[in-house]
Structure 1
Amino acid sequence: MKIKQYRTQFIQELSEIYDVLEVESFFYLILEEKRNLKQIDLALNPDLSFLEEEIVDWNMLVAELKKEIPIQYLLGKTNFYGLDFEVNPNVLIPRPETEELVEWIISNHLAIQKNKNLKILDIGTGSGCVAISLAKNLTKAQVFAIDVSEGALATAKRNAISNEVSVTFLHQNILETEDLMQEFDIIVSNPPYVRNLEKEEIKKNVLDNEPHLALFVADNDALIFYRKIAELAQKNLVKNGSLYFEINQYLGKETVELLENLGFKNIELRKDIYDNDRMIFCIK
């Protein structure tokens, strides 16, 4: 079968569940992964065909996509900040908004690292996307990363190796941690922040497949991780050290107030590409 013919069939089968543009993006992601072909290659070579065994493989992927399993899990990888990361059900799929947080940290500290060996801690590292991207771009920094999930840490360690960076990974429950035992120039965290009352806003493919441990917090204490991490930051950041958070878009004001009450200064709340309150920076 010609690939162009299969593409039509692929879109028809999945467009009842997904937006057509999203289905097209799925098709070309799989095509590049399976055949190393881009959209332009297919346009220039319209007679390219699939072998019978390839069609069997693609049909299996279509069946999984119909169950709304994320394409990133099916391919076992995704791209974040220009790097490839292994992803699986032990870790959240990195989001574009988190790339903005990484960019903010790098832009604030790239010049500083020329004169200082920065020490960075990423709390709740998941796939390691934040810690590894920082290590890759702030090349003189010493980077540490914590997660409560052993499965996530195993994934993050493989990602550090494949992206050729050195990160020290620690298995630790931050809510049970009283002291980080060393000082850091930067602490960053994208902790669980979705309240149970917001579950109806979460897409089915996320809700059914991504780890709830990394997503949800109780409605009555939605800032539990922010409070704990900020308290630890007051102990374990150097003087004028930086604290960065990705936050719940509905709790920007409350998160700012929490940090003010804990004595942080120069607090800045930023919106993401979707115009939602998403990131906070402050100084000890």
Structure 2
Amino acid sequence: MLLKEIKNIFHLELDAIYGKEEVDSFFYLLIEHYFNLERFVLAIQPNLVIDKEQETVIFQALSELKLEKPIQHIIGTAYFMDLDFMVNKHVLIPRPETEELVRWILDDFKTAAKALTILDMGTGSGCIPISLDKNLTHTKVFGLDISTDALKVAEENNGLLGAGVKFLQADMLSLNTETSAKELNQKFDIIISNPPYVRELEKAEMHNNVIDHEPSLALFVPDEDPLKFYTAVVKFAAEHLNENGCLYLEINQYLGEETKQLLLDSNFKTIELRKDMFGNDRMIKGIRK
């Protein structure tokens, strides 16, 4: 079958769900992933034919896209900070906004003269600590998560990408209990967290491919206590950051000022609330006094 005919079928079946540009992106990502074909191949070979086995693969992907399964789950990887991370239903798919947070940290510490000790709280796929470990030298990087399944993914990414992150299982809501890992009983130069922050009332704004296929444990918080994870992280950071250590948080765009107040109440200084590429309040930084 002609590859260009399959592309037309993709648009006929999917444009109403995703829009033309997104469908183009899906199609080219799939042919690159499965067939090692560049996106410009149809301009060079407009009559390119794929065989029956290849047809089966790409039409299976089409069926899954019609069910609004994330493209990253279909191909099994997500691109983040110039790295390919394995992802599945047990971890959040890394977002561009989170990449902005990582780049903020790298901008602040790329030329750091001393060795850094870093902790990522709620690590999921491990995309944040692994990216930092790969881009900063002389670091000791830790990532924690409550989910055993998420930590399996993080450990696999750690090995596949040649990083040296130490992953720990712990509940960030009860880090001061005796069950906390001994590695958490130290001081850190940087603490990062992208914890659950989507209120139940905001579900209506979300697409089905997120609600149905990504872990609710990593997404949602009660409407009546939307900052419960931030309260725990800020408390831990106030006690476990070195003097002038930095706390970086990805946040709910609607709760920027409330999150900033948490840092003020815990005596953080030089607090900066920063917008993402879409103009939403999305990340915050505070320095421990």
Superposed pair shares fold, TM > 0.5: yes
Distance, in Å, in 2 between the alignment partners of 1:127 and 1:101 is 16
Aligned residue in 1 for 2:10: 10
Comparing 76-85 and 172-181, the one that deviates more: 172-181
Aligned residue in 1 for 2:124: 126
Q: Report the Cα offset of residue 38 of structure 1.
A: 1.1
Which letter does structure 1 place at the counterpart of 2:143?
A
Comparing 52-61 and 220-229, the one that deviates more: 52-61
Whether the 8 Å contact between 2:115 and 2:137 is mirrored in structure 1 is no
Distance, in Å, in 2 between the alignment partners of 1:59 and 1:32 is 15
The secondary structure found in structure 1 opposite 2:18 is coil
Percent of aligned pairs with the same amino acid: 51
Q: Name the TM-score, length of structure 2 as normaliser.
A: 0.96
The secondary structure found in structure 2 opposite 1:251 is helix
Q: Report the Cα offset of residue 139 of structure 1.
A: 2.2
> How many residues in Structure 1 have an aligned counterpart in Structure 2?
282
Which letter does structure 2 place at the counterpart of 1:110?
K
Aligned residue in 1 for 2:147: 149
Aligned positions of 1:214-253 closer than 5 A:
214-253=218-257
Distance, in Å, in 2 between the alignment partners of 1:150 and 1:19 is 36
Q: Report the Cα offset of residue 117 of structure 1.
A: 0.6
Aligned residue in 2 for 1:260: 264
Aligned residue in 1 for 2:28: 28
Q: Report the Cα offset of residue 48 of structure 1.
A: 1.6
Q: Report the Cα offset of residue 106 of structure 1.
A: 0.5
Which letter does structure 1 place at the counterpart of 2:41?
D
Query: For structure 1, which runs of at least 5 residues remain unmatched after alignment?
Result: none
Distance, in Å, in 2 between the alignment partners of 1:10 and 1:235 is 53
Which letter does structure 2 place at the counterpart of 1:184?
F
Distance, in Å, in 1 between the alignment partners of 2:185 and 2:18 is 48
Query: For structure 2, which runs of at least 5 residues remain unmatched after alignment?
Result: 178-183
Whether the 8 Å contact between 2:28 and 2:39 is mirrored in structure 1 is yes
Superposed CA offset, 1:221-264 (max 9, x none): 11111111111111110111000000000000000111101111
Distance, in Å, in 2 between the alignment partners of 1:131 and 1:65 is 30
Superposed CA offset, 1:176-234 (max 9, x none): 11173111000000000000011101111101110000000111111111111111111
Aligned residue in 2 for 1:208: 212
The secondary structure found in structure 1 opposite 2:253 is coil
Q: Report the Cα offset of residue 147 of structure 1.
A: 0.4
Aligned residue in 2 for 1:51: 51
Q: Report the Cα offset of residue 160 of structure 1.
A: 1.1
The secondary structure found in structure 1 opposite 2:98 is helix
Aligned residue in 1 for 2:274: 270
Which letter does structure 1 place at the counterpart of 2:216?
H
